[in-house]
Every structure is written in C-alpha cells, then in structure tokens.
Amino acid sequence: MLLLAASSEQSKEFANHFLLHFHFHILDVSTVLTTPSNLFSQVGLIFLITYLLKATRYQKKAAAETITPSPHLVNGKKLSDSSCQTSLSCTKLLDSAQSEAPRALFKLAFIVIFTFFSVCELGHISFQNTYLQLLPGLNITAQEAAEIATLTAVTYTVGRAVSVPVSGLLSSGTILNVHLCLCLLAFGAFFWSATQCRLWLAVNSALAGYALSPIRSSMFAYVNAYTTADDRLNALFFISICIGSVFSPLIIGPYIGVLPSVLIYVDLVSISVALVAFIAVQVLVCRKTCSVQKSQSTATVEEVVQQVGAIN
C-alpha cells in the first residue's frame, strides 16, 4: 500500500509538472504568433506568395489567349461599337492601350496611399491606449483608456455603416477628400485636447474613429471606377497594407514611452502623404479625362466634315 501511495504521488507530481510545462509552452507559442510584427510579417509573406503565383498564372494566360471584350453597357443597355466610340461609359478610363503609363502611375500612387494610410490607421488603433495613459497631467487609468478606445471603435463602426447610404449620394473621390481632411483635423486637435479634460479627449478620439472609417473601402471603390481591379492588383494593395502595419510598431513603439505625442506626429505625416498622393491621382485622372474628351471631339468634327464633303 505504501508503494502504491508513493507511486501515485509521484505520478500526480509528474502530471502536474508536465501540464505546467505544456501550458507555458503554449503561452510562448501563442505570444510569438500574436506579436503584431511577427503576425503581420507572416500575413505579408502569404500575400506576397499569393501575388507571385497569380502573376505567373496571368502571364501564362495572357500568352495563351486574348481577352474577349465584354459587351458595352450604358444605363443597363448594350451599345454598338460605333455608338460606343462616342461614349465615355463604355470602358474604364485607364483600361485602354493608350493609358499604360497613366495606369502604372495610378497604381503606384495608390500603393503609396494604402501603405501610409495603414501606418496611420493600424498604428493609431494599436497604440491609442498607451498614448492615453502616458499623457502628462490627465492621469488616465487603463480602464478609462479602454473606455475611450471603445468609443473610437464604436464611431469607426458607425461610420462604416453610414458610408453605405452616403456612397450612393457622393462619389468615392468626394468621400476620400472629405475624410482625409477630417483625419488631419482630428489628429491635429489631439495637441489641444491632450491638454484639456478627459471629455474633450474622448470627443476627439470619437471624431478620429469616424474620420478613419470609410477611407479604405472608398479607396477600393475609387480604383475600381477608373481601372479594372483584378486579383493581382488587389493582392498588391493588401501587401502594401501589411507592409504599413509592420512598420507602424517599429516607428511608434520604441519612442512612445519617452514622447507620447509621437503617435500623433506619425498619424499626421502618414495622412498628409496619403492626401498629397491622392491629389496627384485626381490631377492625373482629370488630365486623362480631358485628353480623351479632346480626342473624341476631334474625331467627331472630322466625321462631320467627311459627311458634309460626301453630301457636296
């Protein structure tokens, strides 16, 4: 009996030691997998591999066959080839063979926009609690910081819902212009609200959440309005988002303990770069639209002259 009791105690001790060791091992693995930089690096690598595979597939497909153009639709009706030549709605502005260089610049500019916007958005959401607790003079607790961050998440979600009916009234370009400027206003106001009371800080955080909410979806809508957003292009955009999310912890993390406002500086710089790049995109689109309209008007005048000459 004594031997059985001793062996039972040793078995229990061994089982407890094994479970404890296994528990800490699981915690270590989960910590590694959920560290932002490691996680986003893995996701970025997956997107990079996916993009390379899709690029190879598209190159083989383009070499093997030609793409048949889809029927031209305007207001739900098919147009003939002759009537389509005089309509801007038949093909997307940057999908023509003459728009290869503007299309490349358009895509490059949006890669910059996606990258810098993700630095701002994910950096602000990730480090907002830390920023609030480190603000001098306000003595915000972890619970209060969590409540303000929850308010930011609520306004972010509400803004996404509001953007659905608003997108039917306003163009994606207008929404982007308004909300990028609203982001500059909201982030710039943190320098003032951080020196006031917690109420103003909460209101400012809510405004920032609402300002950020529809920008990413509006960027995809704007791209799709002027060029075909295929799998390769979307994969490239998601890679740029992951790249931005990897760099935001590296830029903000080491300095936020010494200078909490580094978060706001990074937000303002990132949004400013995204806004400047989007203004450049709008100028590019405007110039291309004017060029197409001019060429079409010239073709129309020449056709009328030919018809008049044939009548005479």
Q: Examine residue 21 and state whether it is found in any structural domain, yes or no.
A: no
Give the CATH number for residue 272: 1.20.1250.20
Q: Examine residue 234 and state whether it is found in any structural domain, yes or no.
A: yes
Report residue 175: phi and psi, to 5°. Answer: -60, -40
Are the C-beta atoms of residues 262 and 134 closer than 8 Å to each other? no
Q: Examine residue 135 and state whether it is found in any structural domain, yes or no.
A: yes
- In this prediction, residue 4 carries a pLDDT of 40
- In this prediction, residue 50 carries a pLDDT of 56
- In this prediction, residue 86 carries a pLDDT of 41
- In this prediction, residue 107 carries a pLDDT of 93
* Number of domains within the chain: 1
- In this prediction, residue 94 carries a pLDDT of 84
Q: Examine residue 217 and state whether it is found in any structural domain, yes or no.
A: yes
Q: Examine residue 291 and state whether it is found in any structural domain, yes or no.
A: no
pTM, whole model, 2 decimals?
Answer: 0.69
CA angle 96, 101, 104 (to 5 degrees): 95
Whose tokens are 């995809």? That residue is 220
- In this prediction, residue 178 carries a pLDDT of 95
Whose tokens are 């979600």? That residue is 157
Regions of the chain short of the pLDDT cut 70: 1-90, 298-312
- In this prediction, residue 186 carries a pLDDT of 94
Q: Examine residue 160 and state whether it is found in any structural domain, yes or no.
A: yes
Closest among 179, 187, 166, 190 to 275, alpha carbons compared: 179
- In this prediction, residue 79 carries a pLDDT of 42
Q: Examine residue 6 and state whether it is found in any structural domain, yes or no.
A: no
Q: Examine residue 116 and state whether it is found in any structural domain, yes or no.
A: yes
For residue 96, the SS3 value is coil
Q: Which long-range contacts does 275-280 make (Cβ < 8 Å, 24+ apart)?
A: 275/180, 275/181, 275/184, 277/109, 277/110, 277/112, 277/113, 277/116, 278/109, 278/113, 278/176, 278/177, 278/180, 280/109
What is the domain range of residue 207? 105-284
* The two structure tokens encoding residue 91: 């093909």
- In this prediction, residue 138 carries a pLDDT of 84
With a CB cutoff of 8 Å and minimum separation 6, the contacts of 221 are: 167, 172
